[in-house]
Structure 1
């Protein structure tokens, strides 16, 4: 009898439950979304699980725990209650803090979402704090919980894949030797080796490349310029005002004389005054 159907895609949260199904050799069908999925999971989130008698699960940690418990011999959940709680702690921490912060940084860089430098810088700073928690634990221990491999390592390593895909280049790996060593150890385990054994590490982190701007079409030639009106002569405020016109002589008001004055003078000077000059 089938143990159920696991809906998993290429999204990184699908990797751990998919690997566990194969590791435990469960009779679980692993498939992409179909009509049954869309009918039962309206939020369209991956992974999802449908079991016998209408049993349904969403949320990756819940699904992974259910798959682990399907094998009573599984030792991936710790050897006691304290370790079990720590397994849940690390898995939850990776799911809610590590993966979303990685996405906040690399998605604007690879063009999946609009680029925002402030968002990327803030995300990078917080991501460094989150990774610092792993780095501190792994400085003294090989695994996240106890002294052996647990689901916490499997799930956290699968989530770290996105960071190593886009952000954690050679310089980063040198600065975080404990996390890098642990990641290489976990992806080489039989549970993840089939999916990540040939994993290729990047040399440099992805960088934002601004999209090329389309060249604007050349504007149509401008219309002919209108003839400019002649400029008015500027008034020199410092120049002296023109002199007032001289007043007219009072005799000018009488108009021009009708007699020819020059002719009268000539006659008066050369002729006899009584007889000719003064008729």
Structure 2
């Protein structure tokens, strides 16, 4: 099967996992372009197609260009409706979108902000213990809601993996490398059982790679 297009992204990035996992489950092929972060995506050729210089970025064989990982993954999933990645009905698709937006904005966003503070990526290497604590509390609130929501479900929307499950698993993997140590993970057995099930699926196992979870949440003095 010919590739549907070219993707610029790095596998460590959760958004790239969304896209490659969606393609794998959909039975589609995507070319992963060679990429040197900070060089390739700042080149005139890249910026001519993707003005913000963000990755992941996708260019279809028909010339379509897309950025934002979840949007690219959704497009890929839409090319294989029989895969069930977007559910089996309009209502399913709405729920898939709901969960994707929820985990990106209510879990992943807090993880990323904490990580950026700890590693000094915010302006003037700003760190605020109060903001750090507030972000953890907001993430905890969302995790508790999610834990309860999937208490009796194998997957988030249907009886098989959808794009929502892929996004959740990638977001949780990232959080467990930053904000969720062993003690925190023990509070969310349903979430991590879901993660293990998705990440172990033979179609995406190599994309998710090793868990590489932290034993304790990253803290300011441990950032490197």
TM class, shorter-length: 0.7 to 0.9
- What is the aligned partner in structure 1 of residue 14 from structure 2? 12
Equivalent pair of 1:188/1:197 in contact (CA under 8 Å): no
Q: Which has the higher contact order (CA 8 A, sep 6+)?
A: 2
Measured on the aligned residues, the alpha-carbon RMSD in Å equals 2.2
Q: Distance in 2 between matches of 1:29 and 1:120?
A: 38
CA shift in 2, pair 1:68/1:210, >3 Å: closer
CA shift in 2, pair 1:151/1:53, >3 Å: closer
How far is the alpha carbon of 1:4 from its aligned partner?
A: 1.5
How many residue pairs end up in the alignment?
Answer: 211
CA shift in 2, pair 1:126/1:26, >3 Å: same
- What is the aligned partner in structure 1 of residue 154 from structure 2? 142
The answer as to 2:92 corresponding to 1:83 is yes
Q: Which of residues 163, 180, 191 in structure 2 aligns to 1:179?
A: 191
**Unaligned 5+ residue runs, structure 1?**
212-279
> TM-score w.r.t. structure 1 length?
0.69
Equivalent pair of 1:88/1:152 in contact (CA under 8 Å): yes
The answer as to 2:205 corresponding to 1:204 is no
Secondary structure of the equivalent of 1:191? Answer: coil
Equivalent pair of 1:98/1:130 in contact (CA under 8 Å): yes
**Unaligned 5+ residue runs, structure 2?**
36-40
How far is the alpha carbon of 1:52 from its aligned partner?
A: 2.9
Choose 81-90 or 169-178, whichever is displaced more. 169-178
- What is the aligned partner in structure 1 of residue 67 from structure 2? 58
How far is the alpha carbon of 1:137 from its aligned partner?
A: 0.9
Equivalent pair of 1:109/1:207 in contact (CA under 8 Å): yes
Q: Which string of whole-angstrom CA distances, capped at 9 and with x for unpartnered residues, describes residues 178-207 of structure 1?
A: 112111111111233113353233222222
Q: Which of residues 73, 97, 102 in structure 1 aligns to 2:106?
A: 97
How far is the alpha carbon of 1:41 from its aligned partner?
A: 0.9
Larger Rg: 1
Runs of 4 or more off by more than 6 Å in structure 1? none
Secondary structure of the equivalent of 1:165? Answer: coil
How far is the alpha carbon of 1:151 from its aligned partner?
A: 0.9
> TM-score w.r.t. structure 2 length?
0.84
Equivalent pair of 2:25/2:83 in contact (CA under 8 Å): no
Q: Distance in 1 between matches of 2:29 and 2:153?
A: 35
